Amino acid sequence: MELRLRPLFEAATRPYLAAGKHAWLFARGKLRYDPVYFSLLRRGLLPQHGSLLDVGCGQGTLLSLLRAAKHQTAGWPHDWPSPPKLVLRGIDLSAKRVRTARRALGGDAQLDRGDVRDLDLQRCSVIVLLDVLFYLGEADQARVIEKAAMALEPGGLLLLREADAGAGWAFQVTKWSERLACALRGSVRQRLHYRSAAQWIAQLVTHGFSVETTPMSEGTPFANILFVARKVSPRPA
C-alpha cells in the first residue's frame, strides 16, 4: 500500500477494534488486498453529494472507508478527486455482520439487517453491490437489478462487482476460492450463480442502465469486473 494512503487506511480500520480483533484484521485484509475500495475514491466514481446504499454491505468495510474519507482533513492524495460527502446506508442478510458494522460505524451510517430479495429499496443516488448477486438465483438477481433501477434517482449510479464467468482459468480460480471460503464458513450447501460479463451487461441494459466495465482484480488472481452502470434519465415527454 502506498505510504500516503496509510492515514486513510488506519482511520477506516481502527474503528473495528470496537468489534474485536477478528473484525479489525478482516477490515485490514479487505482494504489492503482488494483493489475495489480505494479504486472507487481514486477514480472519482462516486458523486460528491447524495446518498449511498451498500447492499450486502457485510461488516461495512466500504462504508467505513467512505466515512474516513469524509472526515479526513489533511493529507488527502492531491491527485485524487475530493472525497465524497455522502449519506451512508447499508443492509446485509447477516445479523452478525450488521452488528459488527454498527459497532464500527456508530451513528455515522444507517445499518439494517435485511434480505434484499424482500425489501423495497429507498430512493438514493448510488447503490453498491460488491460480490453479492452471485449468492442469489438468476431470477432474484434480475429482480434486485430492477429494484435498484427503480430506487435510483435519474442519472443515479449502480456499482456492481461480479466475477466474469467467461474469463477462463481466472474465473475458475475465483469460483473455487469462493467455494472454499463458503466451506470454511460452514456453508457448503451455498449455491453460487455466475454470469459472463456480457450477460451482466445485457441484464443491466435491459433495466435501463448504460454500462461501462473495468477489470477489478488488480493484484489478485481473480476475474472480477466492476460494472459502472448509470441509470439513463427518461427522455422528457
Ligand X SMILES: C[S@@+](CC[C@H](N)C(=O)[O-])C[C@H]1O[C@@H](n2cnc3c(N)ncnc32)[C@H](O)[C@@H]1O
Q: Which positions lie near ligand X, rule CB under 6 A?
A: 30, 56-58, 61-62, 91-94, 97, 115-117, 130-132, 135-136
**Size of the chain, expressed as the number of residues it contains:** 237
Q: How far is CA 225 from CA 17, 38, 200, in A?
A: 31, 15, 10
Q: Phi-psi category of 50—alpha, beta or left, where left has phi over 0 and alpha has psi -120 to 50? A: left
The residue among 4 and 138 lying less far from ligand X, judged by its C-beta, is: 138
Least distance in angstroms from the C-beta of 181 to ligand X:
8
| Residue 152 φ then ψ, to 5° | -75, 145
Least distance in angstroms from the C-beta of 74 to ligand X:
27
The residue among 63 and 167 lying less far from ligand X, judged by its C-beta, is: 63
The residue among 11 and 93 lying less far from ligand X, judged by its C-beta, is: 93
Sole residue written with cell 473495468: 214
Least distance in angstroms from the C-beta of 183 to ligand X:
14
Q: Is 143 helix (H, G, I), strand (E, B) or coil?
A: helix
The residue among 42 and 232 lying less far from ligand X, judged by its C-beta, is: 42
Least distance in angstroms from the C-beta of 150 to ligand X:
17
Beta bridge partners of 224: 163
Least distance in angstroms from the C-beta of 27 to ligand X:
9
The residue among 181 and 205 lying less far from ligand X, judged by its C-beta, is: 181
Least distance in angstroms from the C-beta of 72 to ligand X:
21
Query: 146 and 229 in contact (C-beta within 8 Å)?
Result: no
Give the cell for residue 190.
451455498
Residue by residue, DSSP assigns 34-83 as -THHHHHHHTT-S-SSSEEEEET-TTTHHHHHHHHHHH--S---TTSPPP
Q: Is 106 helix (H, G, I), strand (E, B) or coil?
A: helix
